[in-house]
Structure 1
Amino acid sequence: MSDQTDEPLDVLLVTVREQYYIPKFLHGILDADHIRIVSLTTVPPTLGTKSMPVFLWDFFTRFGPSVFAQHVWFYGKYRLLDTVNRITGRGSPYSPRTLAQRHDLEYRHTEDVNTDEYVAYAESLSPDVLVSVAATQKFDSQLLDIPSKCAINIHSSLLPEYKGVSPSFWTLLHNEAQTGITVHYMTEELDGGAILRQEPLDIHNDDTLHTLNRRVAENGSKLLVAALEDIHAGAVNSTPMSDDGSYYSMPERDDVRQFVEQGNRFF
């Protein structure tokens, strides 16, 4: 039975403060029918609440100076472009903050989504749905319980395979022919909860980590909108998450070395 109404679905969207990929993930949802973003919140890209210097040093030691320099150049370039475009009001937005400004959305940055202050803020918004897009923090139950309908996450693999961090890296390292995108209910278990929608994505022979992540973002935007439209229409047909599958954490230095030796590239 459908419980769709003419009222829009009020969505609290939590994502990572990042330049380039996240605006591609979010673009479709901001223009979708029946969806109203009540707030766009960002968290640091530091995998939890560790400090940025600690995160950067950890990244440097794991990935080495060459890969580290590639990432600094890439994100530095788009951070500069985003700042210029935000000030001038012209050009493409390359950050959630600039995207929010362009769409006249409430924007908030928090170091930790589980603090009493942020939880109280989220409660004040009375969202129907809480959406996590590449957020780098685990959501506690007090936050997950706030939305009146559900909390959902979008993950860049065909769950339950490749749970955890950097699924695109691991699928390339393991020479997979296919990856995918999954929208699932959020629980306190990482990458757990029943699956709402899932879509496979072929990996091309010439894919770099960058090109694969870009296509995941572009296709993920459409899948997320479709899942939210299902929720709005009361037409969700979810599938339990299997206990099988695989989990991967941040790559170690040997994983990065093998990735490069196999002929894979980051950009």
Structure 2
Amino acid sequence: MKIIILTQEDSFSVPRNIEKLIKLGFVEIVEVIDIRTKSSLVNKKDLFIKGFGWGQTIKMGMTVIGHKIVNMADSLFGYKLKVQPRSLKGVARKYNIPFNIISNPNDEAFLSRIRSLSPDIIVSYSAPVVFKDKLLTLPQKGCINLHCSYLPHYAGVMPSFWTLYKNEKSTGVTVHYMDTKIDNGKILGQEKVAISSNETMKTLIEKTKEVGGNVMCKVIENINNGTIEVKDNPVHEGSYFTWPTVDDFKDFKKKGGRLI
């Protein structure tokens, strides 16, 4: 099964989830694509600094720098170190997969190139753009996305923040077909995730993406075996959230919420 990954840079969980797909055995990942837009998390540093202050932001930044050091060392040794890849480029190079950075996956030139690769499935790990019809209909078996909430609840942006902000005791993960609306397509797999009393944004993001990566693998296996079960996504019964504001982050921090 030929798969293309469309996602955004993540040094914590997405590289590990890509490895999980590779280890399924029947999967061939033909390209890993990093989408860089204004909505990408890496371009929201100012929002986090203003909302959480320099202390927590620097602490998160040091963690990311540590991951970059691991990547550099692994690269120097030809990606043969027994370490977890900590970037999209790193995991792609480790497994000899083409890697590209783009800004618009709906661009005609990009669509033409991807069409030539004849993917069976396009997998999105929280890609930061809406896929339009031409892209959605390009893979033979569709585009599927991992969203880190229990849809239809907490659809939209940064569900891990909003579930903590709203003092939820549990959240979840959902793998769903994609359409031209955000987190709107039919559901292929879900699992609930408990939120601990000392949860931070970082720990909850890592927890949900870890569980979500496993659910994605199960969904891919079921699609490959022809045993996939599709459920309706009753969006009218759920909730939708956009990017938090600086004031939302400040309020969260004031109430004891933590980034890391």
Counterpart of 1:255 in structure 2 is 248
1:78 aligns with one of 36, 53, 67:
67
1:24 touches 1:217 (CA, 8 Å); kept in 2? no
Q: Give 1:133 shift.
A: 0.6
Query: In 1, distance between residues paired with 2:257 and 2:84?
Result: 29
SS in 2 for 1:189: coil
Q: Give 1:186 shift.
A: 0.2
Q: Does 2:253 match 1:264?
A: no
Query: In 1, distance between residues paired with 2:94 and 2:26?
Result: 19
Structure 2 stretches lacking a partner, 5+ long: none
1:141 aligns with one of 109, 133, 140:
133
Cα RMSD of the aligned pairs, angstroms, is: 1.9
2:29 aligns with one of 24, 31, 37:
37
1:161 aligns with one of 134, 145, 153:
153
Q: TM-score scaled by structure 2?
A: 0.91
Q: Give 1:68 shift.
A: 3.4
Q: Specify the code of the residue in structure 2 equivalent to 1:259.
A: F
SS in 1 for 2:257: coil
SS in 2 for 1:170: helix
1:17 touches 1:45 (CA, 8 Å); kept in 2? no
Q: Specify the code of the residue in structure 1 equivalent to 2:144.
A: I
Q: Does 2:179 match 1:187?
A: yes
2:97 aligns with one of 88, 105, 110:
105
SS in 1 for 2:29: strand
2:144 touches 2:177 (CA, 8 Å); kept in 1? yes
Closer/same/farther in 2, CA of residues 58 and 254 from structure 1, 3 Å limit: closer
Structure 1 stretches lacking a partner, 5+ long: 1-8
2:237 aligns with one of 244, 258, 261:
244
Q: Give 1:255 shift.
A: 1.4
- What is the aligned-residue identity percentage? 28
2:76 aligns with one of 80, 84, 87:
87
Q: TM-score scaled by structure 1?
A: 0.89
Q: Does 2:108 match 1:116?
A: yes
Query: In 1, distance between residues paired with 2:47 and 2:109?
Result: 29
Q: Give 1:19 shift.
A: 1.6
Closer/same/farther in 2, CA of residues 266 and 51 from structure 1, 3 Å limit: closer
Counterpart of 1:128 in structure 2 is 120
Deviates further, 200-209 or 26-35: 26-35
Q: Give 1:161 shift.
A: 0.5
1:35-74 matches, within 5 Å, as 35-44=27-36, 46-47=38-39, 52=43, 55-74=44-63
Q: Give 1:260 shift.
A: 1.4
2:51 touches 2:250 (CA, 8 Å); kept in 1? no
